[in-house]
C-alpha cells in the first residue's frame, strides 16, 4: 500500500483538524449553556481536544517526512516552509489549550476566557495551516504524481457552447 500512497500526511491530517475545530466550537457552546447540556458538551470538547492533540503527533511526523521527500521547486519549498511554520504555531496553541483544559478539569461546564481565546486562535491557526497545505497541492502541485493536461478538456464556457461530455477516463 505504501507504493499507492507514498505520502501518508494527507491520510492523518484530517483527524486533528476535525477534532480540534469541534473541540473549540464545543467549549464555546458549553460556556454559554447552563445545566446538564453545558456539562455534557464540556466533556465532548475535552475528549475532542485530547484526541486532536494526540493525532497531531503522526500528522506532524508524516508532514515532516513529506517535507523532506516530495519533489518540489524553490517556490514550492517556500510554500511548504510557510505551511510548516503555521502547523507548529497551531500545534503550540492547541498543546497549551490542552494543558489549560486539563488544569480546568474540575470545572463543571465550559472553559475559562483564556482557554476560549487560545482555542479561537488555534482554530484560526489550523484553518490557515490547512489553507496553506491546500496551496501546496493545488497551486504548486506538491505531492501530485502528474498534472493533468487541460488543453481540450472543457465543460463549456460561460456564454459559450456547453455541449455534452462523457466522463469515461
Most trustworthy range by pLDDT among 29-33, 71-75, 114-118: 114-118
Answer whether residue 162 shows pLDDT above 70: no
The whole-number pLDDT of residue 3 equals: 58
Cell of 75: 517556490
**Arithmetic mean of pLDDT, 18-31:** 96
Cell of 8: 501518508
Cell of 96: 497549551
Give the residue, 23 or 68, on which the prediction is more confident. 23
Contact (Cβ atoms closer than 8 angstroms) between residue 108 and residue 40: no
Closest CA to 70 of 128, 136, 147: 136
Closest CA to 21 of 113, 120, 146: 120
d(C-alpha 145, C-alpha 92), whole Å: 32
| Maximum separation of any 2 CA atoms in the chain, in Å | 65
For the segment 82-127, what is each residue's pLDDT rounded down to a tens digit?
999 999 999 999 999 999 999 998 877 889 999 999 999 999 999 9
Cell of 119: 482555542
Closest CA to 86 of 112, 51, 60: 60
The whole-number pLDDT of residue 83 equals: 96
Question: pTM (2 decimals)?
Answer: 0.82
What is the SS3 assignment for 13? helix
Amino acid at each position: 500500500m505504501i507504493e499507492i500512497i507514498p505520502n501518508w500526511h494527507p491520510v492523518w491530517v484530517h483527524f486533528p483538524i476535525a477534532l480540534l475545530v469541534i473541540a473549540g466550537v464545543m467549549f464555546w457552546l458549553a460556556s454559554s449553556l447552563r445545566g446538564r447540556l453545558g456539562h455534557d458538551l464540556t466533556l465532548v470538547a475535552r475528549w475532542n481536544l485530547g484526541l486532536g492533540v494526540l493525532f497531531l503527533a503522526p500528522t506532524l511526523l508524516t508532514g515532516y517526512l513529506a517535507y523532506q521527500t516530495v519533489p518540489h521547486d524553490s517556490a514550492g519549498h517556500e510554500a511548504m516552509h510557510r505551511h510548516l511554520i503555521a502547523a507548529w504555531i497551531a500545534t503550540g496553541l492547541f498543546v497549551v489549550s490542552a494543558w489549560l483544559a486539563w488544569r480546568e478539569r474540575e470545572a463543571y461546564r465550559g472553559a475559562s476566557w483564556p482557554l476560549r481565546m487560545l482555542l479561537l486562535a488555534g482554530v484560526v491557526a489550523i484553518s490557515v495551516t490547512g489553507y496553506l497545505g491546500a496551496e501546496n497541492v493545488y497551486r504548486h502541485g506538491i505531492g501530485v504524481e502528474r498534472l493533468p493536461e487541460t488543453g481540450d478538456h472543457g465543460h463549456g464556457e460561460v456564454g459559450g457552447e456547453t455541449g455534452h461530455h462523457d466522463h469515461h477516463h
